Amino acid sequence: ELLRIDHVGIAVADLDEAIRFYEVNLGLRCVHQETNDEQGVREAMLAVGDGTGPRIQLLAPARPDSAIAKFIDRSGPGLQQLAYTVADVEVAADALRARGMRLLYDAPKRGTAGSRINFVHPKDAGGVLVELVEPADAVHLPGD
Ligand code: V0V
């Protein structure tokens, strides 16, 4: 069900400062920004190189009780999640549930740029918060 790496998510305290750091020091390009109220994050997507590969997602807390705020309080800024592209997030989530993994949501939630997302609990995935991303423009082909 996992098609490719979609993005790697990094928790940051200050989004604007982090975007500048990645653009100036690492040469990445910010290609998208939004606030996700449900998740309590301000986020930015950064393209690497020719932009065809996985992106870097910078995640800053939008409120103090959010998942990102809690992560930074506990672990400091740094790698927070690894996200895979899937064709159908419900099909992928069901397959992982059937293999005994806990998915965080019963039904998908809204992710970046109109995508549909769910997560595997990090305790069921070797200490990694695994995100499933069905992009808004996902094409459902027979056999996907
Ligand atoms: C917590 N733990 C992690 C972790 N967060 N381990 C690896 N990576 C992480 N990111 C560990 C933590 O150290 C504890 O380990 C253990 O999990 C138990 O955590 P818990 O008390 O059950 O849960 P919390 O309250 O720490 O929350 C963790 C979860 C939470 C994953 C449940 O962060 C969550 O709901 N995340 C999903 C939503 C999210 O991350 N949203 C922000 C991105 P010990 O100490 O017990 O060993 S939004 C996004 O990605 C968007 C919009 C997008 O991509 O489009």
Q: For ligand 1, atom 2, which residue shows the shortest CA distance? A: 122
Measured CA to CA, the distance from residue 85 to residue 134 in angstroms comes to 6
Query: Residue 66 contacts by C-beta under 8 Å, 6 or more apart in sequence?
Result: 39, 40, 41
Pairing of strands 78-86, 2-11: antiparallel
**Which residues have C-beta atoms less than 6 Å from ligand 1?**
9, 36, 39, 41, 43, 57, 59, 67-68, 70-71, 74, 80-81, 83, 104, 111-112, 115, 117, 119, 122-123, 127, 129, 131
Ligand 1 atom nearest to CA at 59: 43
Read off the tokens for 113.
């740029």
Domains, the chain:
2-107 (3.10.180.10)
Give the per-residue pLDDT at 10: 99
Judged against a pLDDT cut of 70, whether residue 140 lies above it is answered with no
Q: Residue 77 class from Cβ within 10 Å (0-12 exposed, 13-18 middle, 19+ buried)?
A: middle
Q: Residue 144: pLDDT above 50?
A: no
How far apart are the C-alpha atoms of 38 and 116, rounded to whole Å?
Answer: 13
Check residues 48 and 143 and name the one with the higher pLDDT. 48
Can you tell me the distance from the alpha carbon of 137 to that of 100, in angstroms, rounded to the nearest whole number?
Answer: 29
The residue whose C-alpha atom lies closest to atom 18 belonging to ligand 1 is 123
Contact 104, 118 (CB under 8 A): yes
pLDDT digits (tens, 9 = 90+) for 60-115: 999 999 999 999 999 999 999 999 999 999 999 999 999 999 999 999 999 999 99
Residue type, 11: A
Q: In the prediction, which pLDDT does 138 show?
A: 63
pLDDT digits (tens, 9 = 90+) for 119-138: 999 999 999 999 999 999 86
Strands (E) in 1-144, as ranges, are 2-11, 29-36, 41-47, 55-61, 78-86, 109-110, 116-120, 130-134
